[in-house]
Structure 1
Amino acid sequence: MFKPSDEQAAMQHYLVCGTEDCQKNGQFYCNACHLPLCVQCRNKHKKTPNTKNHEIVIYRHRKQQFPVEICQDHPTRNKELFCRECSIPICSKCYTLKEHKGHDIDDLEEIYADKYADWQGEFSKIQKYFLPTSNSLKSDIEEDFSQIKNIMESIRTSLKTEAESLKNLVDEVTSESIENTHTIEKSLLKMLKSQETKYDDYIAYLWKMSDEFQEYLSITNQKLLFTKTLKIQSIPETTKPVPPVFTAGRFSKNDITKFLGKVNFPNTKPEKRKIQPMEAESAHMKSTEKLLEQSKEKSDMKQTLSLSSSVTKVREYSIPGVDSAYHVSVEISGRFWVSDDSGNLVQTDLLGNLLQKIQTSGTSQGYHTATQDGDLIYTDSDKKVIYRITQDRKITEFIKTGDWNPISIHSSRITGDILVGMRKDREAKVTRYSKAGKEIQNILRDNQERGLYSNPHYITENINGDICTSEIHNDKVVVVNKSGQPRFSYTGKRSEFYPWGICTDVLGHILVCDIASRSNTVHLLDQDGGFLSIILSSQQGINRPFGICVDDENNLYVGQDGTNTVTVYKYLQ
């Protein structure tokens, strides 16, 4: 049976069944064979006489494979036992020797699994509790910074208001009081800065411990699991600052200071910051897991690219053969394809010259995409077929979608896989195909068996493998991870939001067209769905943007309704 190497496993965008010639999703795991299995291979595994008694579990509940170590004293034997009295691994022949006679002996694989779980648990605590909790406390300090500034500014305003009625008589007292607030503020902010530094140091310590734990968890360092002690320093405690309050005074010519009032600390004991107990960590766990997964998959381009302070129009094309530009696909060669809502699909060169024109059943959807090989594939919703146009202009039937109507399509720049948004009756889904056209994944519902899609009419993939779709019926952008689990949805910044064309760039940004009557803009989101800016609007001459695409040179192509013009912008530097 085929078993992927560690390097191959790291490169896979989803878990592949380990059975020979099977490329389906390996949702299960045989603890005896240490092999991922799909549903069909699991059932066959259970019926085969040699494997029917094997323990098969859900993949995430699998046992870690025990590292094989040859006994130094008996080179023909592997160490499979653990002598508790001597605290060393031994082989079965060592067990018969007199030095281990009468000792408690355990299965080394079970001991290894327990130790691995312990260390994995400690590593998980750092990632899921200690780090997020510490970062939360640090964020609390940052909020206190702002609060102290606001309170002190409010006090200064009150002092100035009081002083206004006293005219020149209170000028000197007012100046002294204001100076006093600056002194107090400086003292409080100095205290907060010290607390912030303390958490910075502690967080650095946690990262260092995390790295050490990962080293201990590796197979090559598995002996250290029996000798090292698990100990993480407690999160340092800090106190919240007690801001001063302003006590208004009553003024007279003889006692200006008394009537003006003064700034002082209330007789209040500082309140300790609340450290969330580890038992209540679930919200932090989810947040940290997202951050960890995303941080591992950042593009190398982030080291050299960033958002430009302004969007610059670099060129414009008038596309012959179409009435509007509802969708744009840019080829590796620099040529690009544009479609309108009448089924016209045309290819032009960088000079705007018409190269070929095809009549399709497509309308206002993202129904075509350029592949890694330089071909174009497009959907025919009426015939339930996906066609391929090769570089020599031959059109061939590529994929049949059965009962489902394919409405949108995207070829992954990462894996070459093909993502297709489909509809059937009142259902909708996203299907993943391999480069060769083999169906390998279907995404229909979330964990509560609720439908994820209604009309995924535009689709794309982000650099971390997230699948992003525009949902016109539900007026939102739906994003799931590469396994099909929901990540987030985006519903715009106004009460009206009509998402159409969608694409992503090398920084993980999501760009989506909003054709709502009061908007007609292009939104820029981060890869977690956070709104960053309106990157294009009527100020740049945009009106009803429908199609959007980013090429390999980080140029942004925008097509609009009612005109055959495609405009190209620079927004990264």
Structure 2
Amino acid sequence: MDPRLSAQDIIRCTVCKDKIVQMYCNLCPMNLCKDCVGEHISDVSKKHDVVPLALRRSKLVYPLCQTHSEENCEMLCEDCNIPACPKCVISPTHKRHHFKSLKDLMNSKKENIEKERKRLKETVYSTFEEIVTDIETRLAEIDGKYEKLTLEVTKHGEEWHREIDKVIEKNKEDINDKKNQHRDALNQHLNDIKKLAADIRQSILETEDILQSKEVIKSLSYEIKSEKFTKLPSKLIVKFPEFTENNNRDQCSQLFGSLSSLSITTKEDGYTMKTPEAVSCPPVKPLLNEPELITTIDTGYDKVYSVTCLSDEEIWTHGKDKIMKLYNLQAKLLKSIQSKSGNVPRDIAVTRTGDLVYTDRDTRTVNIVKNDQIQEVIRLQGWVPLYICSTSSGDLLVIMVSDDNKQSKVVRYSGSTEKQTIQFDSESKPLYSSGGLKYISENRNLDICVADYKASAVVVVNQAGKLRFRYIGHPSTFMGSFYHFFFKKESFYPCGITTDSQSQILTADRDNDCIHILDQDGQFLRYIDICGLQRLWGLCVDTRDNLFVAEHDGGRVKKIKYM
């Protein structure tokens, strides 16, 4: 499959279910391989619109006119409440009728659907997830609570004579029965809540499918469902029984003590719906029509590999040298730090507290610079640390390769303690290629983004290490007045990578002298290929979303304003 056609998985032909797709019918809509195109367009009852896959869904799919079968209906007759084609509009049947654009109606409806999807996903569904967690927590407490209750009964029973053993056993049975009732009640409540949550999730998927669709009728026929989910279920309140001692031993059965009744009630206002205001989002910053070159800093390196921001006014750099250098934006050298071993560092990063960290391939170590003193943080065996980034939580994410250079993985460290390993996908296949350049960055949504040069892909996993998507390049696109038709000279080989306040992913396309900007879901937004960029490697952004680009061969760092 041409890697420019998709950043995701291979698409198969809708007709034969087997061959790789090259074409797409905008009318039907259907994915088609070249062999199935002829069979598809043989149906002359429709005016098929078969285009290359890269141009799929470039047109809206309008319904065919019921009166003029060769025409598409792009309008809606408000008086008749039916779709109308151009011939219908001028026909006597619709004389003096009022018409509206189906496209405008669809866009309006999709805005409501998008609000529906956002509300269901960010408020309703997340609330139900919290309810499930609450019930599961209470379920987990049951054994401990009832075990404590059992111990109380047992301890009191040991103080009594042998003849009341039967009474003790009867109470234990009573406890067990109440525990089962308690568990059954909460389990039933949990199942009911999970079913509602599943229904909400299904509605979210339906809205996402409609939002991606270009079918007008499909959008217009959607019925808003969120209202039925906004009334939260009653909260099940189950009060644990308590054991009451009785030290009067005259009548064993009555005076030994008894359990209170198991109380199972519901509370109408037991749960509270989350509100959209509870979700903190950064202000939206649009991309500039024309990115601006702010300044160029000559690092003095013959070749520069990485750049990372210490502040909005200072950047750390490293190149083909054992010295790491701190510059201000006026290109003044503020500080130089030599690696402890005298080796060339493989990568650098700045921690949340402002300390410089770097990897040393030859000594298999990750080191931190505090008060100009270098301390070893991590030393590996069997693996070699290569690339590194610091996370918002203060952890370190380290890309490492095995000694035989056949395996690569990402490992999360808190200090020198290993917390997480990310190496394989859900099918136990390697997420990353073996060896090669692999810059890494944590996104604002806590995704872990790796520019895998050897694999020609940007690999993004979520915080738990589950694969979200692979981006493998994008076809040439006209991007506006300052952009041109971008004809790729080479295949896509990502090098440096960084993320900004909008959770956008920026990756350096080294061999094509440009930067790809993606949204947090891997959708291509645009290229930056101005400012005379050449042989790009490391990237970083400051707190104001200014981009710093390390030009490998020239030893320069360029600051670019793009938002």
Give the TM-score, by structure 2 length. 0.56
What are the within-5 Å matches in structure 2 for residues 43-54 of structure 1? none
Counterpart contact for 1:319–1:348, Cα < 8 Å:
no
Corresponding position of 1:377:
357
Corresponding position of 1:125:
198
Corresponding position of 1:112:
185
- 2:394 corresponds to which of 397, 416, 425: 416
SS of aligned partner of 2:202: helix
Considering Cα pairs closer than 8 Å and 6+ residues apart, tell me whether 1 or 2 has the greater RCO. Answer: 2
SS of aligned partner of 1:533: strand
Counterpart contact for 1:336–1:348, Cα < 8 Å:
yes
Corresponding position of 1:328:
307
Counterpart contact for 1:311–1:569, Cα < 8 Å:
no
Residue 140 (structure 2) pairs with residue 65 (structure 1): yes
Counterpart contact for 2:307–2:539, Cα < 8 Å:
yes
- 2:411 corresponds to which of 406, 431, 435: 431
Instruction: Please list every run of 5 or more consecutive structure 1 residues that lacks an aligned counterpart in the other structure.
Output: 1-33, 35-59, 79-91, 148-191, 229-294
SS of aligned partner of 1:528: coil
Taking structure 1 as reference, are residues 137 and 565 closer, same or farther at Cα in structure 2, changes over 3 Å only? closer
**How far apart, CA to CA, are the structure 2 residues paired with 1:226 and 1:299?**
32
Shift of 1:476: 1.0
Counterpart contact for 2:461–2:468, Cα < 8 Å:
yes
State the identity %. Answer: 26
**How far apart, CA to CA, are the structure 2 residues paired with 1:370 and 1:543?**
25
**How far apart, CA to CA, are the structure 2 residues paired with 1:336 and 1:371?**
13
Describe the superposition over 1:40-67 as per-residue Cα deviations: whole angstroms up to 9, x where unpaired: xxxxxxxxxxxxxxxxxxxx99984357
Residue 306 (structure 2) pairs with residue 306 (structure 1): no
Corresponding position of 1:205:
227
Give the aligned length.
358
Shift of 1:477: 1.1
- 1:523 corresponds to which of 516, 519, 534: 516
**How far apart, CA to CA, are the structure 2 residues paired with 1:107 and 1:137?**
44
Describe the superposition over 1:391-440 as per-residue Cα deviations: whole angstroms up to 9, x where unpaired: x311222211222111100011x200000000111111111100x22111
- 2:537 corresponds to which of 540, 546, 567: 546
SS of aligned partner of 2:549: strand
**How far apart, CA to CA, are the structure 2 residues paired with 1:315 and 1:418?**
30
Taking structure 1 as reference, are residues 134 and 393 closer, same or farther at Cα in structure 2, changes over 3 Å only? closer
Describe the superposition over 1:9-61 as per-residue Cα deviations: whole angstroms up to 9, x where unpaired: xxxxxxxxxxxxxxxxxxxxxxxxx9xxxxxxxxxxxxxxxxxxxxxxxxx99
Counterpart contact for 1:120–1:217, Cα < 8 Å:
no
SS of aligned partner of 1:107: helix
Corresponding position of 1:512:
507
**How far apart, CA to CA, are the structure 2 residues paired with 1:452 and 1:427?**
10
Counterpart contact for 2:299–2:557, Cα < 8 Å:
no
- 1:473 corresponds to which of 451, 454, 460: 454
SS of aligned partner of 2:291: strand
- 1:396 corresponds to which of 352, 369, 375: 375
- 1:317 corresponds to which of 276, 285, 296: 296
- 1:559 corresponds to which of 550, 553, 556: 550
- 1:453 corresponds to which of 419, 429, 432: 432
Taking structure 1 as reference, are residues 113 and 554 closer, same or farther at Cα in structure 2, changes over 3 Å only? same
Shift of 1:458: 0.6
Counterpart contact for 1:407–1:423, Cα < 8 Å:
yes
Q: CA RMSD for the aligned pairs?
A: 3.9
Counterpart contact for 2:297–2:329, Cα < 8 Å:
no
**How far apart, CA to CA, are the structure 2 residues paired with 1:298 and 1:563?**
44
**How far apart, CA to CA, are the structure 2 residues paired with 1:508 and 1:224?**
46
Corresponding position of 1:532:
525
Taking structure 1 as reference, are residues 374 and 137 closer, same or farther at Cα in structure 2, changes over 3 Å only? closer
Shift of 1:560: 0.9
Residue 216 (structure 2) pairs with residue 144 (structure 1): yes
What is the identity, as a one-letter code, of the residue corresponding to 2:206? T
